[in-house]
Amino acid sequence: MGTAPLIVVSGPSGVGKSTVVSAALAGDPGVWLSVSATTRLPREGEIDGVNYFFVSPERFEGMVQSGEFLEWAEFAGNRYGTPRGPVQERRAAGTPVILEIELQGARQVRRSDPTARLVFLAPPSWEILEARLTGRGTESEEAVAARLEAAREELAAQGEFDDVVVNADVQESAQALLDFLHG
Ligand code: 5GP
């Protein structure tokens, strides 16, 4: 028996990755979303172990050193990584896995696992992305600026992905993800 599929969902901060992935999970509860570790502080309403494992920079570094991450990256001043063990266990048990990660992480997965399917979620326009990121109100002005700078780089790299989905409609984007997952 082969392992279950791995789908990487990437795209600029503010494009709506979390919303689309949540809708996909609601449409297919048999899929598992990996929970990343991060050194970022929790936003209001975020729960440790659910949205992320919120860890100290020291703990994160320890995880890097002991090879616990499938991939990890620094993004807008914080570090983020995918714990390797749970992803391997789920896939070996036949459960398809989704990773919601940024560009550098997606590139690492591509190198380490050529069977992974990389999906880029793109905004309908730059103006819409900017408005979403600014209007979200969860980050400082400085953090928003760092995310917009990263977004330019990410948008320029969308040609590296297997699929590009323009996120104009959450349900349609979620369905596109499920279609990739199922074949
Ligand atoms: P946020 O701080 O908005 O939750 O996440 C910032 C960026 O980091 C987003 O693009 C998000 O998808 C990405 N990210 C979240 N978890 C991981 C991870 O484990 N690895 C990588 N490379 N990026 C991640």
Lowest mean pLDDT among 41-55, 65-79, 110-124, 135-149: 135-149
What's the rounded Cα separation, in Å, for the pair 97 and 6?
Answer: 5
Answer yes or no: are the C-beta atoms of 99 and 86 closer than 8 Å.
no
Mean pLDDT of 82-102: 97
Whether CATH 3.30.930.10 fits 6-182: no
Per-residue pLDDT band for 135 (boundaries 50, 70, 90) equals confident
Chain segment 158-182, per-residue pLDDT in tens: 999 999 999 999 999 999 999 998 8
Atom of ligand 1 nearest to the CA of 18: 12
Atom of ligand 1 nearest to the CA of 73: 22
Q: Which pTM was predicted?
A: 0.95
Count of beta carbons in the 10 Å neighbourhood of residue 61: 13
- The rounded Cα 145 to chain-centroid distance in angstroms is 20
Give the gyration radius of the chain's Cα atoms.
16
Q: Is the CB of 91 under 6 A from ligand 1?
A: no
Residue ranges covered by each domain of the chain:
6-182
Using DSSP's 3-state secondary structure scheme, residue 176 falls into: helix
Residue 80 Cα to ligand 1 middle (Å): 6
